[in-house]
Amino acid sequence: MVTKQVIHGIYDDEVPLLEGCKKLRAAGIRIKDVFTPFPIHGIDPIIGVPRTRLAICAFLYGLTGAALATWMMWYMMVTDWPTDIGGKPSFEYFMAVPAFIPITFESTVFCAAHGLALTYLLRCWLVPGAKAKNPDPRTTDDKFMIYLELNDEQSVKAGEILTATGASEVNHKGTITEKEH
């Protein structure tokens, strides 16, 4: 078991916050999370968030959508009950393929978009009835916060860096214990 100190570094603006993040990381301190009222572009590499894999999910969902639509239309319009599409031959799928492309496109977009949104919401556990995990409600208004969980030695250093980079408050929020990995 390790005991860690919880520190909230509160800033009034995003520019000094980014500066604080850079300094903390340069000092070898791991940033647990950052809470801001609006998304800050380009913050991910600065606070050490690994590259998102949502894009790969989106691609796979899109592929699924295209495959589903193709299979559906092939079964309904060609195999099960060959349908006359504006006088176009329907003996084989490829013969009337221009007519199938809009549906394939729509299905691809539908699956990619819905799959992506659902994955995102589930991964962040933003489900109905989920409790807000925001440690300080002021970060939904006009404050910017760096959230840290550190050992004693690091927390002293982190406090210095936070103050030096212009944090308006450095709040020590007690300790938490977590299992050693």
Partner 1 sequence: MSNLNFTIPSKAKMFTYILMAIGVISIIASFLTDTQPEDAQYHQTRTWANIFIDSFFFMAIGLAAAFFMGLQYAAEAGWATTIKRIIEAVAWYLPYGLCFMLLLFILGQLHVHHIYHWMAEGVADVGSPNYDAGVAAKIGYFGWFWWLRTILYMAGWVFFTWKLRKNSIEADNAIGTDTHHWKNVKLSAWFMVLFAVTSSTSAWDWLMSIDTHWFSTLYGWYMFSGMWVSAIITIIMLIVWLKRLGYLENVTESTVHDMGKWMFAISFLWTYLYFSQFMLIWYADIPEEVIYFQQRWENFKPLMWTVLGINFAFPMILLMSRDAKRNFWFLTIVGTVIFIGHWLDVVMMVMPGTVGHHWTGLSWMEFGIFAGFLGFFINILLRNLASRPLQVKNHPYLDEAIHHTT
By CB under 8 A, name the binding residues for partner 1. Answer: 41-42, 55, 59, 86-88, 98-99, 101-102
Question: In sequence order, what DSSP letters do the residues of 49-81 get, joined into one string?
Answer: PPPP-HHHHHHHHHHHHHHHHHHHHIIIIIIIS
For partner 1, the closer CB: 28 or 98: 98
Provide the minimum distance between the beta carbon of 2 and partner 1 in the complex, in angstroms, as a whole number.
36
For partner 1, the closer CB: 86 or 174: 86
Q: Are strands 144-150 and 33-35 parallel, antiparallel or unpaired?
A: antiparallel
Rounded CA separation 134/54 (Å): 23
Provide the minimum distance between the beta carbon of 31 and partner 1 in the complex, in angstroms, as a whole number.
19
Return the half-sphere exposure (C-beta side, CA atoms, 13 A cut-off) of residue 15: 0
Provide the minimum distance between the beta carbon of 55 and partner 1 in the complex, in angstroms, as a whole number.
7
For partner 1, the closer CB: 112 or 162: 112
For partner 1, the closer CB: 63 or 156: 63
Rounded CA separation 127/25 (Å): 32
- DSSP bridge pairs for 35: 145
Provide the minimum distance between the beta carbon of 86 and partner 1 in the complex, in angstroms, as a whole number.
5
